[in-house]
Amino acid sequence: MLPPIPSRYQPEAVDPASLGSWLAWSLPFFSEPVAQNPHVDLTLQLDVSRAHAAYLALPEGARASFFAFLVWHLTWTLAQHDSFNLRCVDGEWYRLGNPPLFIPVAVGGPARFRSLVLEDVQQLELEDFLALYRERLARLRHADAGGGNQEGDEAFSYAHFMGHLPQLRFTGMTLHWRQDQMIGQSCFYFGQRYQAAGRLLMPLAVRMHHSCSDPFVLNQLLEDFNGRFPG
């Protein structure tokens, strides 16, 4: 059972019947316990050429990393797409107005991974987010090697999940899921960037919960995301 959604994530109760014919049917159909996989896994090769040009135009000292730059822009785009901000808790649907951001960070050693949790991202300008990301990432990487991973426990099921695999140029990826967690949550994994036909491409794996999201709304999301970087 999931804990109540923290008020700082700004949960708003949603009546599925009020959301139109498709969501009125899909929200309960794919979230009820049935013998089916409720997820859609899709991996694509995203053209990030214009995004990278916009990143390089930033002052060098403010850049942090290209991954962080993409994460901020994707988080702001997600805020405009309700399908990716719906979560189901104990059979009740909510729209999150201020979901956290959860990033697994590979630190090696016995810990292997730590949780980078950032809140109020949609209230931060790019420069402030990049500075916060740099500071929190450095703190995680220099933490006690025996420390745990509890920071992300509360946020995990409600967050926008974004992972980074910069050494892997994958063409397909299926993410795990526990049946008692993450109903409605989408997960994004960024892969190794590479040049092809004069473009900078990047694998992007997305796991969507079919109750509220699917390739149709993902395409709308990515169109708006790419629109943030005029050519």
Task: Render 8-46 in DSSP notation, one character per residue.
Answer: GG-EEEE-GGGG-HHHHHHHHHHHS--SS--EEEEEEEE
Question: Quick one: pLDDT at residue 203?
Answer: 98
Question: Quick one: pLDDT at residue 94?
Answer: 96
Question: Which one is predicted more confidently, 49 or 156?
Answer: 49
Cα separation, 129 vs 189, whole angstroms:
19
Angle of CA points 158, 46, 80, to nearest 5°: 40
Among 12-26, 27-41, 102-116, the minimum mean pLDDT is found in 27-41
> Which residues face 223 on adjacent strands?
none
27-82 pLDDT, tens per residue? 999 988 765 788 999 999 999 999 999 999 999 888 889 999 999 999 999 999 99
Task: Count CB-CB contacts under 10 A for residue 76.
Answer: 17
